[in-house]
């Protein structure tokens, strides 16, 4: 192997994009850069009260150019000319309407400020009604159950619910939309210059987990099923795709135009894209039957297993089981929580409200106010964690539910709401915060329990992401609740590193994803071990959490 083989991994998260340049021979991280989406930072095109979260394609394109150029500048001489491959991971399901050329509608002047013409972010839940209709028809007995490889329950976070909701909501977009493309498929298409919706390569990961694609179905759900949902879907299937590709496949070569924009050569291989958690699991060195937890604003829990061990078993209530969606040749299984770090951020924002809204009358200087607010903003969760960690388990009597953004797994239901029970006049901020941390840990245990109840063995846990790196209190709580050891991946950028590993495979540097993991993996920086006494105490609280969840779900159905 040449010593001058460098690859680029691009990780598109909910708030920002990160570019990572990696030495493919040893996994050394040469340089990186981050760009926060400017329009998203300004809150544009989103209405959180209505669960509407949209992102403009320009945020993605600007971030691409800015981060790659910054990374190359930081990497120094002789790196740009030795970049061999680029691979991309993104959030998902995050689809967008495109015209016949594959141009995102929001890039046309007519639609530049229309949220329905933009990327519909993974956590957008405006399609709850449509998801319910998909489930009702799929389970009606009139058609094959196209949800059976998606855990048996279709979610409003996924492709078809979002497409149908948008077609119903906006006539102009409906008339202009030729096809629909996932974010993780659109960017490689843009980079290679083949944005034609009928020819661009669609990733197995997004298609299998979010669009009900399966080989046994002959691809996507049938035309009869889709038009049975709504005649507005007539013809959409024929303008999408039949075949899908795992991320060790090449989408094509970097186009001359984008090579010039990025400061690269035009003979660089661009890989087929996938979702951030799936590539993150690879970057975190996932192995068979080891649960990989990407712990950030939400969680995505990944498992892989040999096809002959789990492949024919239908696992109820998860986010899909897809051949090759994580590691080619292995069954990829996905689960997760719709909110994790977002719950802590929500509580912090609640506590910050008086400071942000009442300080003006006390501190006249705008710069001084900003300095105070910023300082408190960054200190709130660390201080809450410090105080909450000193509280005895179960002492407060408070039990919370982690469904602030609905429930993803087990048994997706985005109509559910969070709850906090057992409050009294002594329920202070640290006690409530502890109950929220415990709720997120209990939500994690529900996922583990579901896999195990369905006969899928879990032999260990790997954690990656911001929460895993920053909060020992939260990590120890999750460890004690699960009663399992958790290893934390060393890389600060496991998703981007996973993308870089795939880039090394599509570029021919490594023969397989497993070989890339062995050569480029960063190892682990910490290991949490469960305290048996604490685990026993949490088991009692877990029963209370389950009872509260059962009550709330029952009331929601009324």
C-beta of residue 352 within 8 angstroms of C-beta of residue 344:
no
pLDDT (mean) for 524-540: 97
Contacting residues for 555 by C-beta, under 8 A, at least 6 apart: none
Q: What is the pLDDT of residue 69?
A: 98
Q: Is the pLDDT reported for residue 313 higher than 90?
A: no
Backbone phi and psi for residue 254, each to the nearest 5 degrees, phi listed first: -60, 130
Q: What is the pLDDT of residue 362?
A: 80
Contacting residues for 210 by C-beta, under 8 A, at least 6 apart: 92, 93, 157, 158, 159, 182, 320
Query: Residue 179 corresponds to which tokens in the numbers above?
Result: 């096809």
pTM reported for the whole predicted model: 0.92
Instruction: Render pLDDT for 162-193 as a digit per residue (tens, 0 to 9).
Output: 999 999 999 999 999 999 999 999 999 999 99
- Cβ count near 329 (within 10 Å): 14
Contacting residues for 298 by C-beta, under 8 A, at least 6 apart: 122, 123, 336, 337, 338, 339, 340, 341, 342, 405, 408
C-beta of residue 102 within 8 angstroms of C-beta of residue 187:
no
pLDDT (mean) for 253-280: 96
Instruction: Render pLDDT for 113-133 as a digit per residue (tens, 0 to 9).
Output: 999 999 999 999 999 999 999
Rounded-to-integer distance, Cα 120 and Cα 54, Å: 5
Contacting residues for 128 by C-beta, under 8 A, at least 6 apart: 51, 156, 161, 414, 415
Rounded-to-integer distance, Cα 429 and Cα 253, Å: 54
For the stretch 513-521, contacts whose Cβ atoms lie closer than 8 Å and that sit 24 or more positions apart, written own/partner, are 513/248, 513/282, 513/327, 513/328, 514/327, 516/24, 516/282, 517/282, 517/285, 519/24, 519/25, 519/26, 519/27, 520/22, 520/24, 520/26, 520/27, 521/27, 521/283, 521/285
- Domains, the chain, ordered by start: 6-284+491-522 (3.30.420.40), 341-489+526-557 (3.30.420.40)
135: nearest Cα among 221, 231, 236: 221
Query: Residue 497 corresponds to which tokens in the numbers above?
Result: 């590193």
- Cβ count near 4 (within 10 Å): 14
The more confident residue out of 556 and 516 is: 516
Instruction: Render pLDDT for 380-420 as a digit per residue (tens, 0 to 9).
Output: 999 999 999 999 999 999 999 999 999 999 998 988 999 99
Query: Residue 198 corresponds to which tokens in the numbers above?
Result: 């009928």
Distances (CA, A) of 530 to 341, 440, 481, 484: 21, 17, 8, 6
End-to-end alpha carbon distance in the chain: 63
Instruction: Render pLDDT for 425-471 as a digit per residue (tens, 0 to 9).
Output: 999 999 999 999 999 999 999 999 999 999 999 999 999 988 999 99
Contacting residues for 233 by C-beta, under 8 A, at least 6 apart: 163, 164, 167, 226, 227
DSSP 69-100: HHHHHHH-TTSGGGEEEEEEEE-SS-EEEE-T
Instruction: Render pLDDT for 46-77 as a digit per residue (tens, 0 to 9).
Output: 999 899 999 999 999 999 999 999 999 999 98
> Mean pLDDT across the chain, nearest whole number?
95
Distances (CA, A) of 362 to 371, 379, 439: 14, 21, 37
**Helix, strand, coil fractions of the chain, as percent rounded to 5:** 45, 20, 35
Rounded-to-integer distance, Cα 294 and Cα 281, Å: 7
Q: Is the pLDDT reported for residue 2 higher than 60?
A: no
For the stretch 237-241, contacts whose Cβ atoms lie closer than 8 Å and that sit 24 or more positions apart, written own/partner, are 239/178, 239/179, 239/197, 239/198, 240/179, 240/180, 240/197, 240/202, 241/198, 241/202, 241/207
pLDDT (mean) for 220-229: 98
Q: What is the pLDDT of residue 1?
A: 44
Q: What is the pLDDT of residue 311?
A: 59
């Amino acid at each position: 192997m040449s010593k001058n083989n460098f690859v680029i991994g691009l990780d598109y998260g909910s708030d920002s994009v990160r570019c990572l340049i990696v030495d493919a021979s040893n996994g050394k991280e040469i340089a990186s850069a981050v760009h926060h989406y400017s329009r998203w930072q300004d809150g544009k095109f989103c209405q959180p009260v209505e669960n509407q979260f949209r992102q403009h394609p320009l945020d993605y394109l600007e971030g691409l150019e800015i981060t790659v150029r910054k990374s190359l500048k930081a990497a120094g001489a002789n790196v740009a000319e030795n970049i061999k491959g680029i691979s991309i991971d993104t959030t998902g399901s995050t689809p967008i309407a495109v015209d016949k050329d594959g141009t995102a509608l929001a890039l046309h002047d007519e639609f530049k400020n229309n949220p329905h013409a933009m990327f519909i972010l993974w956590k957008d839940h405006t399609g709850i009604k449509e998801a319910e209709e998909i489930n009702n028809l799929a389970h009606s007995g009139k058609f094959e159950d196209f949800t059976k490889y998606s855990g048996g329950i279709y979610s409003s976070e996924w492709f078809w619910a979002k497409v149908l909701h948008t077609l119903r909501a906006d006539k102009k977009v409906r008339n202009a939309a030729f096809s629909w493309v996932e974010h993780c498929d659109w960017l490689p298409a843009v980079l290679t210059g083949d944005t034609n919706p009928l020819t661009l390569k669609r990733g197995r990961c997004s298609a299998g987990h979010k669009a009900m694609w399966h080989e046994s179905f002959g691809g996507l759900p049938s035309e009869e099923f889709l038009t049975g949902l709504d005649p507005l879907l007539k013809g959409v299937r024929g303008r999408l795709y039949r075949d899908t590709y795992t991320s060790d496949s090449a989408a094509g070569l970097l186009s001359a135009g984008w090579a010039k924009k990025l400061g690269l050569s035009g003979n660089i291989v661009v890989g087929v894209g996938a979702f951030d958690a799936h590539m993150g699991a690879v970057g975190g060195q996932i192995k068979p039957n080891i649960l990989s937890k990407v712990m950030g604003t939400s969680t995505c829990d990944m498992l892989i297993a040999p096809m002959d061990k789990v492949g024919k078993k239908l696992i109820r209530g998860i986010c899909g089981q897809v051949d090759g969606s994580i590691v080619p040749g292995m069954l990829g299984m996905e689960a997760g929580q719709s909110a994790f770090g977002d719950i802590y951020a929500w509580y912090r924002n609640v506590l910050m409200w008086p400071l942000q809204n009442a300080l003006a009358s006390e501190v006249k200087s705008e710069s001084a106010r900003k300095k105070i607010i910023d300082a408190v903003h960054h200190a709130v969760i660390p201080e809450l964690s410090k105080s909450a960690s000193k509280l005895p388990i179960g002492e407060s009597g408070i039990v919370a539910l982690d469904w602030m953004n609905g429930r993803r797994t087990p048994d997706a239901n985005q109509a559910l709401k969070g709850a906090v029970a057992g409050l009294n006049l002594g329920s202070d901020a640290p006690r409530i915060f502890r109950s929220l941390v415990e709720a997120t840990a209990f939500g994690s245990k529900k996922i583990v329990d579901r896999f195990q109840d369905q006969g899928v063995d879990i032999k260990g846990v790997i954690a990656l992401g911001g929460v895993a790196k920053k909060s020992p209190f939260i990590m120890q709580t999750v460890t004690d609740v699960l009663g399992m050891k958790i290893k934390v991946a060393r890389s600060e950028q496991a998703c981007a590193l996973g993308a870089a590993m795939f880039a090394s495979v599509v570029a021919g540097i490594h023969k397989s994803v497993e070989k890339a993991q062995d050569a480029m993996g960063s190892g682990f920086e910490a290991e949490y071990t469960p305290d048996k006494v604490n685990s026993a105490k949490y088991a009692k609280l877990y029963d209370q959490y389950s009872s509260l969840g059962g009550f709330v779900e029952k009331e929601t159905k009324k």
